Structure 1
Amino acid sequence: MEEIHKAIQAMEAQKTEEAIDILQNYLPQADEEERFTITELYIQWGMLEEAKMILQELMQRYPKETELKVMMAEIHIDLNEDEEAIGILNDFTPEDEGYLEALLQLADLYQSQGLFEVAEQKLLTAKQLEPNEAIIDFALGELAFSNGEYNKCIPFYENAMHHQPVIADIEVATRLAEAYAANGEFEQALEYFQQVQEDNPEVMFRYGFVAYQAQRNDIAIKIWEKLIDEDPYYQSVYPLLSAAYDAEGMPKEALEMAKKGLSKDEYNKELYHLAGSLSHKAGDKETGYKYMREAVALDPGYKKAVLFLIENYKSDGDYEAIIELINQLLSLGEEDPNLYFELAKAYEEEEEYEQALVHYQTAYPSLKEDDAFLKSYGYFLIEEGRMTEGRKVLEEYLAIDPSDTEIIEFVHRLRD
């Protein structure tokens, strides 16, 4: 063992090549116990192929030694040689010492290959052997949860939590909270989130989000405020916390939180949208428009912000602003036919009828089954003296909405 200790000391001194040379030179004369120790060191140092070669030799000498088989299977798994690992693990029999561990590893491998039923069968076999083993219930819960079977996973998680609250550094309460939340049982989910001990930012975010979904904004605000205090750069929380403040009738806090979020993430279109909407609601229209235009500048296809600007410019009677906005979006490659429709109506309001006609005509092929568009377009054509075209468009409108008596009478008068 003296040479092995030298190798360990060399590795601890970060003399990697020297450590490896010592073991490789000593290996031919090492006894079986020393070979096993060298194998463990190779695995620890990431030299899996070298470890595999020694293990193969040891397994030939001791074919019934289950510890060697488990080590070899783990090496195959680490090398992404799943089929080889499955072959070894399937050789285990109920009489073998490592049978339970082999079943668990097989279940994990089959699950990774998408063979969920086979994986479940291995775990259920393991559960028959050890009905109260928390890790088996937890694995069954994880398998069901990954398949979206939330009702099915909950009893397994509950059994696991009863015997062992923390498994593989995971608090089982967080899994139960997520499972109940995914099932739409938010109050039950909140109860389990309250039992979680660790201050994990991701768990805190999900806790707040479930509370927000359950319309418990008071809980969401409390949890998210704590999260931001601990991790000011957890950017996903700012728009949601701002929205939670707004839902609780706290518009000043909502706007401040949106601004605070923008100071951490200046490219967040949702925060610009929120800041714009909240500023506008507070009576500061110009600032609201400024924020909203920033959102559109970041993403010209961001429909919420575009629609906000168009509808509010309409309320202000500022059709020039609509024309400027939409022409800018079209120049950037946005091809939504509704933009042409809105542009046509804006030009119509500005009495630029030739431009209005061009954009109505552009929108028509895509919106010829949209009743609001056809009605507006038909009236426009009639007012422009294009009687035949206008009547045809209004007849297309009536094919969609035959109950509009006003248009029916209007079309009859046109025919007469």
Structure 2
Amino acid sequence: METIMEAVHLMESKKSDEAIALLEDYLPVADEEERFTIAELFVQWGFLQEASQILEELLQQYPHEGEIKVMLADIYIELEADEKAIELLNNIHETDESYLEALIQLADLYQAQGLFEVAEQKLLTAKQLNPTEPIIDFALGELLFSTGDYLKAITYYQKVIGVTKEVANVSVPGRLAESYAAIGEYEEALKIYQDVEHEDSDTLFKYGLTAHQAGRSDIAIKAWEHVVEIDPYYHTVYYQLAKAYEEEELPNEAYTTAKKGLQVDEFNKELFFYAGTLAHQLNENTDSEKWMRQAIALDPDYKEAILSLIEIFKEKNQYADIIDLIEEVKTTGANDPLYEWELARAYNETESYKNALNHYQEAYNSLNKDSEFLKEYAYFLTEEGRIAEALPIFRAYLQYQPEDYEVEEFYNRLDEETDR
């Protein structure tokens, strides 16, 4: 062991090449115990291929040794050789001391492969062997949580929470609260969250979400404000916090929060659009247009933002801007019958009737069952003197809106005049 200790000291002195060379030179004369120790050191230092080679040789000498198989399987997993790890772990006999650990490892591997039922079966077998082991209960809780079986997950998390509040850096109360929230038990989830120390931004953010779902916007706002304080780069929080402010009728705070969010998340189209919406509410029309244009620049087919910006342009009678906007997004390949309809309207307002007609006709191909469109298109055709084309459009409209007596009367009068 003196040589091994010397190698450890070399590694501690940042002389890794010398440490590895010393151990590799020593391996041919090392006994089985020393070789296993060297393999452990190689794993610890990140030399996985070297460690696997030693362990594979030891396994040939001791083919039934479960401890070697478990350690080698760990290495295979790190090297992304999951099938080799599974084969190895499945060869550990149930009488072996390492069998329980092998079952838990197998469950992880099968879960990663999406074989959730197999993973659960391995964990239930492990639980039969050791009914009170919290790691097994936690693993079952995590598996069921990942598959959306929150009610069953709660049962296992509750068993763990009586023993420990944290497993593998995961907050068990946090998971329990998330599970209750997922099944709509927001009040219960909120109670659990209120007993959890909220030191990390993830837990705080989820606490805020649960409070918001429970109708406690005051708690949600405080939680999310704290997230911004401790982690200004936690992108997701800004949209939620801004929404909560708006719901509490604090539009200025909502807008300020959205703008802060855009400083740290400049590719969030939803936040740009929301900032534009808030700016419009506050009559900041120049900024509103700017934010919405940036949202559209990120996603040229962002229909909600495009249609909202069109409405803003309509309020200011900026029909030329509507035409420019839609023609621009269409050059990117973004197409929608609503864009054609809005182009038709804009061209009509600018008295470019031929263009308006072209776009009404284009929109009609997709919107021929939309009663509002049919009515508008029919009246446009009438105004353009295209009565013969307008009549069947009116008839189609009245099939969808038979109680619109005003349009019916207009249609009948038009029809009679045509027959004269």
Instruction: Report the counterpart of residue 80 of structure 1 in structure 2.
Output: 80
In structure 2, what is the equivalent of residue 363 of structure 1?
363
Q: Which residue of 1 aligns with 2:300?
A: 300
Measure, in 2, the Cα distance between the counterparts of 1:85 and 1:238.
Answer: 43
Amino acid in the other structure paired with 1:242: A
Which residue is 1:55 aligned to? 55
What displacement does 1:247 show?
Answer: 0.8
Correspondence for 1:213: 213
Aligned-partner Cα distance in 2 for 1:82–1:331: 47
**Residues 69 and 88, structure 1, Cα contact 8 Å, conserved in 2:** yes
Q: Distance in 2 between matches of 1:263 and 1:105?
A: 43
Q: Could you say if the C-alpha distance between residues 25 and 242 of structure 1 is closer, same or farther in structure 2, counting changes exceeding 3 Å? A: same
Residues 159 and 316 (structure 1), Cα distance of their counterparts in 2 relative to 1, 3 Å cut: same
Which residue of structure 2 aligns with residue 243 of structure 1? 243
Q: Is the 8 A contact 1:238 1:261 kept in 2?
A: yes
Match of 2:156 in 1: 156
C-alpha displacement at 1:332, in angstroms?
Answer: 4.2
**How far is the alpha carbon of 1:404 from its aligned partner?**
3.7
1:97 aligned residue: 97
Name the residue aligned to 1:334: 334
Contact 1:132 1:163 in 2 (8 A): no
Aligned to 2:129: 129
What's the % identity of the aligned pairs?
54
Deviations 1:7-37 (A, max 9, x none): 2222223333222221121111112221121
Moved more, 81-90 or 96-105: 81-90
Structure-2 separation of matches of 1:298 and 1:18: 53
Q: What are the residue-to-residue correspondences of 1:59-70 with 2, within 5 Å? A: 59-70=59-70
Tell me which stretches of 4 or more aligned residues in structure 1 moved more than 6 Å: none
- C-alpha deviation, 1:327, in angstroms: 3.3
User: Against the structure 1 CA distance between its residues 226 and 389, is the aligned structure 2 distance closer, same or farther, given a 3 Å change threshold?
Assistant: same
The answer for unaligned runs of 5 or more in structure 2 is none
With over 3 angstroms needed to count, the CA separation of the structure-2 counterparts of 1:344 and 1:72, relative to structure 1, is: same
Query: For residue 73 of structure 2, what is the amino acid of its counterpart?
Result: A
d(CA) in 2 for partners of 1:411, 1:85: 77
In structure 1, what is the equivalent of residue 325 of structure 2? 325
Q: CA deviation at 1:93?
A: 3.5
Residue pair 2:52, 2:75 contacting (<8 A) in 1 also? yes
Contact 1:73/1:88, CA 8 A, preserved across alignment: yes
* AA partner of residue 243 (structure 1): K
Correspondence for 2:278 = 278
Offset of residue 407 of structure 1: 3.6
Work out whether residues 259 and 275 of structure 2, in 8 Å CA contact, stay in contact via their aligned partners in 1: yes
1:336: how far off? 1.6
Check if 1:39 corresponds to 2:12.
no
TM-score w.r.t. the length of structure 2 is: 0.91
> Which residue number corresponds to residue 386 of structure 2?
386
| Residue 147 (1) aligns with residue 152 (2) | no
Q: Secondary structure at the match of 1:335?
A: coil
Equivalent residue for 2:200?
Answer: 200
Provide Cα deviations, 1:169-207, integer angstroms capped at 9, x if missing partner.
111111112212222222222222223225222222222
Report which stretch shifted further, 232-241 or 274-283.
274-283
| Rounded Cα–Cα distance in structure 2 between residues aligned with 1:106 and 1:357 | 67
Deviations 1:283-334 (A, max 9, x none): 4444433433443344332333322222233344443443343333334443
Q: Distance in 2 between matches of 1:129 and 1:349?
A: 79
SS of match in other structure, 1:163? coil
CA distance in 2, matches of 1:46, 1:121: 32
Task: Could you tell me which runs of 5 or more consecutive residues in structure 1 were left unpaired when the two chains were aligned.
Answer: none
Equivalent residue, structure 2, for 1:412: 412
Work out the CA distance in 2 between the residues paired with 1:115 and 1:273: 40
Q: Contact 1:270–1:295 at 8 Å: present in 2 too?
A: yes
Give the secondary-structure state (helix, strand or coil) at the position aligned to 2:243: helix
Deviation at 1:152, TM superposition (A): 1.7
Cα distance in 1 for residues equivalent to 2:277 and 2:296 = 13
Q: Distance in 1 between matches of 2:75 and 2:294?
A: 53
TM-score (norm 1): 0.91
In 2 relative to 1, CA 4–193 (structure 1 residues): closer, same or farther, beyond 3 Å?
A: same
Relative to structure 1, is the Cα distance of residues 60 and 375 closer, same or farther in structure 2, using a 3 angstrom cutoff? same
Query: How many residues are treated as equivalent by the alignment?
Result: 416
When structure 1 is superposed on structure 2, of 245-254 and 86-95 the one drifting more is 86-95
User: Matched residues in 1 for 2:181 and 2:5: separation?
Assistant: 53
Distance 1:157 1:377, change over 3 A: same
- The one-letter code matched in structure 2 to 1:256 is T
Checking the alignment, whether the CA contact within 8 Å between 1:123 and 1:136 is kept in structure 2 is: yes
